[in-house]
Amino acid sequence: MIKFTAREVRDIIISMVVIALIFAYVFSGRNLSNPTNFISLIPITFIAVGLAFVLHELAHKFVSIRYGFWAEYKLWAEGLILAVIVAVALGFVFAAPGAVYTYGSNISREQNGKMSLAGPATNIILAAFFFLLLNSSSLPTLMLLGFLGFAVNSYLALFNLIPFGIFDGAKVFRWNPLIWIATAAVALIMVLYSFFGLASI
C-alpha cells in the first residue's frame, strides 16, 4: 500500500518549488533587473520541472514499494542551498534537492538497480512526451513548454545516471552495465538534441 507521511509531502513540495524557481531563473537569463521574463516562465517551469522532479521521485518510491520495501522522500537542505548558489554564481542547475530512501533488509543488487533506474527512465519517457508536444503544436507557449519539458527531463535523466557516488547511475551500473550504457546513451542524445535545438526555439 502506498503511503505518504506529512513530512514527505512537505519535503516534496518545497523541493519542487525551489527547483522550479531555479530553472525559471536560469532559463530567463539570470536577469532580475527586469523580472518579466522570469515571472512569465514560472508557470511553465512548474509544469515541466514539477512533473520531471515529482514523477522521478515517485517512480523510485513505487518500485521500492512494489518490492515490498518502505520508501520515503527526504529533502536535503544543503542540496537546495547548493543548487541556488550554483545557479546564481555559475548559471546552471545542479539539482540535488533530496532523495527517496528505501528501508529494508536483503535488498538485492538487481532490486536496487531497478529501483534506481525507475527515476531516470521516467524522465526519458516524459522527455519523449514533451518532444511530441513540441513538434505537434504551433502555439508559442506550448512549444516553449514542450522544449523546456524535453530539455529538463533529458538533463535530469542524464544527470542522475552519473555512474559514481550516490547517483542512480552508480547502482544501475553495478547491477547491469549494458542497461546503464543504453539508458545513458539515450539520455545523452536527448540532451545534445535539446542543446542544439535551442537556437530554433
User: Which residue numbers are catalytic?
Assistant: 57
Beta bridge partners of 100: 73
Place of cell 522544449: 147
> DSSP code of 68?
T
Q: CA-CA distances (angstroms) from residue 141 to 13, 24, 32, 40, 176?
A: 25, 14, 21, 10, 40
Distance CA 111, CA 117 (A): 10
The terminus-to-terminus CA distance of the chain in angstroms comes to: 43
